[in-house]
Structure 1
Amino acid sequence: RQGRADEFTVKTAAERKRVLGDILGLDRWTIYEERAKERLRTIQAEAEAIELRLREIESELAHRSEYEMELDSAQKSIEELGAALQEAQTAYQQIETARTEFRHAEAQIAEIGRRVARAERELTALAEERVAQQKRLTEHEGLLAQADEVEAGYAAYQQAVEQEQTLGAKLHQSVELNERRVALEAQLAEARHRIEIKREVAAQRVAELESRLPDDTLLTKYEEVQAQLAHLTQLAESREAARDDRARIAEEQAELRTRNESLKAEMNALKEKIELLEQAEAECPLCAQPLSDEHRIELQARLQAKGQAMGNTYRANQAAAQELTGRARALEMQIAESDRTLRDTQALQRRAAALTERIERGEQAAEELKVAQTKLNQAERQLEEHGSEVRAKLAQILAQAEKLGYDAAAHEAARQAVAAGQVFAERKARLSAARTSVKEERETLARLAENEQRARKQMEAEQVRRTELEQKAGELEEQLQEAAAVEAELQRVRGEEAAARQRLGAAQQRLEACKALDRQQADKQKRRDELATEKSIHDELRIAFSVQGVPAMIIEAAVPEIEAEANRLLARMTGGCMHLRFDTQRETQAGEVRETLEIKIADELGTRPYENYSGGEKFRVNFAIRIALSKLLARRAGAQLQTLVIDEGFGTQDARGRERLVEAINAIQDDFARVLVVTHIDELRDAFPARIEVSKAPSGSTVMVL
């Protein structure tokens, strides 16, 4: 802030007070004022919102009497509609009872209709059964009249049955013998066929095994393939050895290249040393000392000999590397040729495996051939032995069939007689049944007549009951014609009663809302009062924080102190010829008093504004004000100024002014721990007891403390 003293003096009177406030650090009061204003704006906005809400609450509470009237009206409507609703519900209940009875009557009528239909079906069934029973009784009575004829025919039928059974037994034995004969013949044929098949299979197996025996051609091929495989095995081993040699040669080549690279680097280094030695005034590459011509030539010869030896080694390594490259190419060709030859190894191995398998199968076939030949001989012997035994059993069966003496013609005649007498067997069975069931059928016929009469009476009673129910259902249907009107009346009364209850609930809700609004109104009014109190406090704070408040008081207190200190210093510098005064108020042409901060300076010529003085005079005024401001700020901060720096402050002063400025500096030097004066005026060198001279030279500035 000290650097703004010039700004304080050069500004206009209207702006000088603001600048002084900035120098004194009064800008914080502007922040406080803005915060107070911001809080006032917030309070004002909240107060306006509260006033708006209070007006809305008052507008809503004005309808409370209407809500109370609506509540009373709704309660009366509910009471009046209660009786009407009770009557409508009673009438509706009667309609529902009639509807239930009507449905019950319809169900009973339908059930009676089903029972009547069932009774009609039962009567029809009883009549049909009575007719069928009468028919059976008539048939049985007719059979009883033909009893003698039926008995005679039945006796002839029994005799024919006995004859047919005797011949049937013989037929059964004949069939069994024939089946045994056929079975033996089939067994003989099957055994012969099975043995022939076994013999044929054995013969085919013998022929197959004979064809699988190894011959001389197969053995010769097998030996040739084995010899070729042995040659390929040796070739593969030779290829692996060549690959090992090639890898070893590659390692040797890499080692030779590494040696030559190292030799090349060393030879280049020797070449540089030799070139350095060839230069005039050469130095020793080891000790960096000058060399004599003799010593240089000797050292140069040793380095050249060493370089030549390295060159010989380098060329020998190159020749060896070229030789290894030739050997590597030869090995590559050998490996490639071996790879081409060894491509047929797998095919040859498969061929050898196939030949080996064929030879092994031939050796196995030789063993199996002996077994197959034995089985073929056994099959031929079984075929010769089996036929004689089966033919003996077949001859025995044919003899038994001839002894039985079965006559097929007589058996057929007996069958026809049995078929012709079958009618009498059936008539005999019906006759026996008629003798036992005639009495029962007559009783059943009488019982059917009684059941038919009872079913008819029951059907007539059901029809009478159905007529009564249909009459009652008609009466109930007439009563149900009023159901729509009754239901409509009930719905109307229910709707009106529900609407009344809805109005009652709405009125109650509105009145409860009014109670809540009463509480909200009290809270809002309380908050409004609190905001009014807070607003008055912040109004006072806003005024206190404004430029007319605390900052003005601080400036009013600081101005006399600055003025006194500045005049004290100015009197020392001018010998009491100059005096300044700060005017903080001025009267306008309208007679009003305004805040200002004018600097009035008085000298032997009178009182004039700051702007009317020369540069040297202004500097002395600025210097005095600056020192006064610095001391004021230090005192306000609870500290003490330690250093005073005056940079080029003498250029605008005349000789007398410079003397007085030096005197002023010397006069105030006890107020500071050190005073630094920066100047280019030579005559001021001896004005102070100590100095630091800075001299500028081509190589840079130098500093000297004197």
Structure 2
Amino acid sequence: MIPLQLVLKNFLSYREANLDFSGLHTACICGSNGAGKSSLLEAITWAIWGECRAATEDDAINAGAKEVRVDFTFQCNQQTYRVIRTRQRGQGGSLEFQVQSSNDFRSLTGRGMRATQQMIIHHLKLDYETFVNSAYLRQGKADEFMLKRPNERKQILADLLKLSQYEELAEQAKDASKQYKAQAEQLEQSLLSIEQQLQQRDAIALQLSSVETQLSELQQAQTIDNSKAQGLLAQQHQRQTFEQQLSFVKQQYQNLNQDCDRYRQEIAATQQQQRQLENLLQKEDEILAGYANFQGLQIQEETLTSKSQAYQDAQQQLGKLQQKLSEQINELNLQLRQEQGQLDALRQSRADIQQILSRTEEVEAGLQKLQQARAYLSHLDQLQVQVAPLAQRRAQVQTELDRVQARLSARLEELRKSVRDLQKQQQRQPKLQETLQQVEGQIQQLDKKRVYQERVHEKELHQRSFRDRLQANQREWENKLTELAQKLQLIQNPNSSCPLCDRPLDEHHWQLVVQKTQSQEQTVQDQIWDVDGQIALCEYQLQTLTRELKEISQELANYDALREQRGQLAAERSAMAEIQARLQQILVEKEQIERSLSANDYAPDKQEELHRLDQQLQQLKYNEQDHALARGEVDRWRWAEIKQAEIKQAQRRQAQIDAQQPELLAKIAHLRSQIQQLQVNSDLSRQIEALNQQMAEIGYERSQHDTLRKALRQAQAWQFRYQELQQSQQQYPLVRQRSQDLAQSLEMRSQDLQQMTSQMDAIVQQLQQTPDTKGELRDLEQQIHQRQLLQNDHQRQLGSLQQQQQHLEQLSTQHAELKNQHVTTQRQYRVYQELAQAFGKNGIQTLMIENVLPQLEAETNSLLSRLSGNQLHVQFVTQKAGRSGRSSAKKAAKLIDTLDILIADARGTRPYETYSGGEAFRINFAIRLALAKMLAQRAGTALQMLIVDEGFGTQDAEGCDRLIAAINAISPDFACILTVTHMPQFKEAFQTRIEVYKTQNGSQLSLMM
């Protein structure tokens, strides 16, 4: 991948940016920390793979913006591509992929972002993980590979080589081998069971002949009894018909009798209503007189109501006028009170002013004291101006001395703690060795448990497979039982048709079909019971195996923790020698710091400066306490200035009061005269007097009106009596006619009752002539039923025996098929077992790592020789000698898988931690670059672009020169090399630079060539 152009809009710290890579071969991206150098590179990974350092997708959008867009154009495999990725805040995004065709771009975008992403990876032959572990040396990740443990390095290398797919294949092969093994064992059991069942053929044939003879005899006797039962059943049906007719007639007789009773009750109720209406009609004259009196009282009440309305209107108008007059008087009273209040306030203010003016002499004496205090304070302020810089410098020097002492004390405490920790670690060495031996023994015991767990798990899988087959057989038998039950239901009637050929069945064939079906039903039921028992036994065995697996899993719960503990203990044991040397160094440094603190000989220049500043401060004789007392004296006499201002303000205020008082007295007198005029001689007072005379002329009395209303309420009952009289006059003819109609209906129902009685006597006579065969028929049916049960039992035995014969024939065929399946399954088991070993860690994976490491070592040393002037050399070791833990007497040497990196220089082979920061970075840089080339080659693409983000700060001048020389040396291998740094001296080594700087409008960049 060769970059051509990058266009940014609102990506991370960038608002608008455009970078043209044309003509760039080796360039440096430089700028201060936080300017946006790494963001420029992450824009490339976000555009192509949608990956960057942002925690969420919206975090890639510049703060304050609503959307982000990155347009990246690059060249790959002689083709020019363009990727455009956008996203809106809080919403979705879009991804476009284009390829250049002639002078324009043609779209390769798929359906959806996921399909488009797969299209991009397909054309680049490079995913994100391979890119960041090959072409992109990210900031702070250079030493990640070297700082890992040997076994972790090997795992990282396996991950980079994507060997996990072989691990997945190994697991799949193991699962398949276990399945085929379980199938083979299951087939063996099935074959053994079938062979045992085939030995029962002769005994089943003899039982079948005997059952067929007994069944024929039972069917003949059953035919005779069925004919006799048919005749008795016909007689019983005739008797039941007469009984039903008698019951029906009795029901009709009962209904007629109830109708007669109902008519009698209605006639009595109608006659009672008729008598009540006649009594009301006899009081007609009395009701009419009372109603006339009620109407007269209504007329009188309407007259008094009109007078009451006129009186209330006048009374309401009078209230409004009185209220209006009160409001005007109240308003004038309010103004009067306000003016009176102002006059009282002026008098009170005058008294207060006289009190203030009485302190004039005291205030003048205070002002003289204030002037004297301010003169002394000014002298102290001038001294403070001279003392302040000296005191500030003294505080700074004292602070610096305190910091030095604090750093030394902190370092001393840190060294003491380190000494205690290292001594404790040394004391742990015997216990560490003992713990390591104990952990080794526990791991060996748990390894045996793991082997046993695998065997129990295989047994569980076999039992589960056997249970599933039993459940499938159970469902088949249950379906067959349902079909037989439906078949029996179809042929319950002797005159029904055959369920197979749909032809009519005679009595004999119907019984044969029924008996055969019932026999088959019983056989199926027996098979279901048998399968139920086997399933229950299988479930019990599964529960036992599951419980045992759970117990073993609990015992193995700390297996991984023990293995990790063993590794940690071994590493601690190896580190004990380093602890002793480090302890000696720390003790020497600790004694030096203790001597410096006790003799107080640290920072001598600062202590000398502190002594000189103290002498200068003593000569000035400035006292902060005197200065504070002077400020307090000024504050104490400052009240005189305030009081002087108050006296001047009081004099002005007294002159104003003397001018306002006569005007307020005149206003108060005028308001009092207005109030008196409103009360005696005004339009409102005259209107009120007129309304009082009008109310007297109306002459309305409320007591008289209340008496009339009471009499009207008492007479209102005659209105209801009058309405009842009118209704009675209308209802009386109808009630009399209703009484006559009910009497006629009662007479008709009585005649119908006499006819029903005659009909009931005739039916009873017919019943006495028809014999009751119920007892005889019941005995005969019981006999038929018992014989039928015996016949069904024989039918079930017959069907069961026939079914067993057919089943044995099927088993014979199945036996041959299962033998062939068993041979095939055994062969598949052996194949997948070998595949599991081949795909495992000790198979293809180990072989691939062994083949890759020589290439990686050669490429690393080639690069390292350029960086170090042939001074450094690395070697990858995948196996080392170890000892077996089986016996203390015989410790045979063995090889342990590892991935150690041995580093050698002119002084020999040394640990990685002993090399300086610059040397370590060169080693890391060489290994990472070699890994990058190897991963790019394995991905099927050439590594045309290299990005080195920071890491040059650890190099001295010579190291920087070598690193720059190495980059220039490998530049022919790449089409584009980008380095990122914030060091000014390093960026000058590159002719082409991309300057990145921060502005108020976000990060900006400029290209310098």
Normalized against structure 2, the TM-score is what? 0.29
The structure carrying a bigger helix percent of its residues is 1
Scaled by the length of structure 1, what TM-score is found?
0.40
* Larger Rg, first or second structure (1 or 2): 1
